[in-house]
Amino acid sequence: MKRLEEYVRSIPDFPEPGVIFRDVTSILQDADGLRLAIDSLQDLVKDLDFDVIAGTESRGFMFGVPLAYNLHKAFVPVRKPGKLPCETISQSYDLEYGTSTVEIHKDAIKPGQKVVIVDDLIATGGTAAAAVKLVETLGGKVIKCVFLMELAGLEGRKALAGHDVESVICYEGK
């Protein structure tokens, strides 16, 4: 059986020279790769006591929903502004060149609920840190943040200091 890293397509010089883009779609396009990805993420949380998986738009949905289904947990989407139909709270965060914002339904997390944040990639950690703030604002407790891939050179774990962070694949560079 192949290792998960073998399913990741690496594209040099995208989106700019010197960057190696790690393409998760090549995992999604292969049934064995997708199963291995979900199983690997599930191994990171299988022994935890938690109530909810929160996935960030959009690839966090792709990996978070199957985990929630397999583990019989609720799933909460963390979305871009204007995509959720009910009352929301929002959190802005810094990007390399600008800012972005994510939202969550105001009633999505109940006080005291234990939450796992899921996404495909941790780079600078801004999106995940914003998701953590949203969950905590609603009274939830983030017990772990899990990612399929990590670009360690961008030091995203610093944005999640004080939280349990784990990734399936860790690339040392950017």
| Amino acid code (one letter) for 120 | D
Q: What is the spatial distance between Cα 166 and Cα 144, in angstroms, rounded to a whole number? A: 8
Peptide bond into 58 cis (omega under 30): yes
Q: What is the spatial distance between Cα 14 and Cα 88, in angstroms, rounded to a whole number? A: 35
Q: What is the spatial distance between Cα 144 and Cα 3, in angstroms, rounded to a whole number? A: 24
| Amino acid code (one letter) for 50 | F
- Positions annotated as catalytic residues are 59, 96
Q: What is the spatial distance between Cα 21 and Cα 90, in angstroms, rounded to a whole number? A: 29
Q: What is the spatial distance between Cα 52 and Cα 73, in angstroms, rounded to a whole number? A: 6
- Residues forming beta bridges with residue 94, ordered by sequence position: 99
DSSP 8-state class, residue 14: -
